Amino acid sequence: MSNQLSSCLEATGGAISYALHGNCYLNITNRCTLRCSFCPKFNGTWNVQGSALRLRREPTADEILDSVGDPGQYRQIVFCGLGEPTLRLYTSLEIASRLRARGAHVRFNTDGLANLVYGRDVTPDLEDNVDELSISLNAQNEILYNRYCRPKLAGAYRSLLEFARRATDFVPDVTLTAIDGLPGVDIDACASVAAGIGAKFRRRVLDQVG
């Protein structure tokens, strides 16, 4: 662990960034729009792949950038911690823009609910700031989605599909994901939903960050 990361840990109480799969993952908030039944934080742990992700306070943009260091040492910078990065959308976009100016490839792992949260279409704001979006679909229909993801806002499933569809106009690579192994979740049906809105699809494995 670098001295830089250690001091950030002291300031925020949890890891701001962690390296995995050759990527740098950013843990910028613990807030969420969902309360996923399979989430580590709702199952007694804030540790993910050896990193303690419970934040005492949210890191500033400069703290996050300091924690990354040289983005050239990573394949991708991924906004993905135990929280939803688009709840800090404009801080995330500022950081993404500064990292991309230094050659980084930026991915947001998101619940796809930013339009619902902000009450408007924010997808144009992603253009030229985000290279890749990975959006949690998690189920082939609204009933299953609500069972597993337990959204705080009504209309979440339809809003995430619309977000994903609109995002394909502004982000070069949009992928929907679903976790294999949740009872009732049909991975092939989830892949069809993704294909229907012009997005890619990736099957995920429970408790594996990616």
The residues binding ligand SF4 (CB under 6 A) are 32, 34-36, 39, 41, 82-84, 111
Q: 38 or 98: whose CB is closer to ligand SF4? A: 38
Nearest to 135 by CA among 34, 2, 14: 34
- Asked whether 207 and 40 are in contact (CB, 8 A), the reply is yes
The least distance separating ligand SF4 from the CB of residue 70, rounded to whole angstroms, comes to 27
As measured in angstroms, the least distance from the Cβ of 83 to ligand SF4 is 5
Nearest distance in Å: CB 52, ligand SF4: 15
Collapsed DSSP state (helix, strand, coil) of residue 205: strand
- Region of 105 (left: φ > 0; alpha: ψ -120 to 50; beta: rest) is beta
**Number of continuous H segments (helices) and E segments (strands) in the chain:** 7, 9
Q: Which is nearer to ligand SF4, 145 or 170 (CB)?
A: 145
By beta-carbon proximity to ligand SF4, the closer residue of 23 and 71 is 23
| Shortest separation between residue 39's beta carbon and ligand SF4, angstroms | 3
Nearest 10 degrees: CA dihedral of 91, 93, 95, 101? -160
17 or 71, CB closer to ligand SF4? Answer: 17
Non-local (6+) Cβ contacts of 176 within 8 A are 135, 136, 137, 164, 190, 193, 194, 197, 199, 200, 201, 202
- Minimum distance, C-beta of residue 82 to ligand SF4, in the bound complex (Å): 5
> Minimum distance from CB of 38 to ligand SF4 (Å)?
7
**Residue type at position 158:** R
| CB closer to ligand SF4 out of 27 and 71 | 27
CA distance to 93, 115, 124, 172, per residue, from 63 (Å): 15, 27, 27, 28
Q: Where are the alpha helices (DSSP H) in the chain?
A: 3-12, 61-68, 89-100, 114-118, 142-149, 156-167, 187-196
Pick the closer one to ligand SF4 by CB: 41 or 202: 41
